[in-house]
A = this chain, B = another copy of it.
Amino acid sequence: MHGEMVPGTSLTLRGIGQEFGTSMTPAREAARRLVAEGALTMSVSGRISTPELANDRIEELASLRGLLETELAVRALPRAHLALIERLTTINSTVAEAIRRGDAVAYIRTNLEFHRTLYLRAQAPAMLALVETVWLQLGPTMRKLYGRMRQGRPPDSHRLILAALRNREEAALRVAVRTDVTKGLRLLMT
Contacts and interface: CB of A to CB of B under 8 A. Distances in A.
A32 interface: yes
Interface size class of A (residues with CB under 8 A): 20 to 34
A189 interface: no
One complex includes copies of this chain to the number of 2
A33 B68 CA distance: 22
**Interface-central residue, A56, A126, A130, by most chain B CB under 10 Å:** A126
A103 interface: no
A129 B134 CA distance: 11
A41 interface: no
Contacts of A63: 71, 124, 127
Contact of A126 (B32, B33, B36, B61): B61
Contacts of A134: 126, 130
Contacts of A61: 126
A96 to B, nearest CB: 30
A123 to B, nearest CB: 8
A85 interface: no
Given A60-B124, A67-B68, A36 B33 contact: yes
A144 interface: no
A150 interface: no
A133 interface: yes
Interface in A47-102: 56-57, 60-61, 63-64, 67-68, 71
Interface of A: 28-29, 32-33, 36-38, 56-57, 60-61, 63-64, 67-68, 71, 123-127, 129-130, 133-134, 137
